[in-house]
Amino acid sequence: DTGVSQNPRHKITKRGQNVTFRCDPISEHNRLYWYRQTLGQGPEFLTYFQNEAQLEKSRLLSDRFSAERPKGSFSTLEIQRTEQGDSAMYLCASSLTGANTEAFFGQGTRLTVV
Binding site for another protein (CB under 8 A): 3-4, 33, 35, 40-45, 48, 56, 91, 93, 97-100, 102-108
The residue (of 49 and 86) whose beta carbon lies closer to another protein is: 49
Closest by Cα among 96, 113, 114, 109 to 36? 109
Task: Identify which of residues 32 and 113 has a Cβ nearer to another protein in the complex.
Answer: 32
What's the alpha-carbon Rg for the chain, to the nearest Å?
13
Residue 94 β-bridge partners: 32, 104
Nearest distance, CB of residue 99 and another protein, angstroms? 5
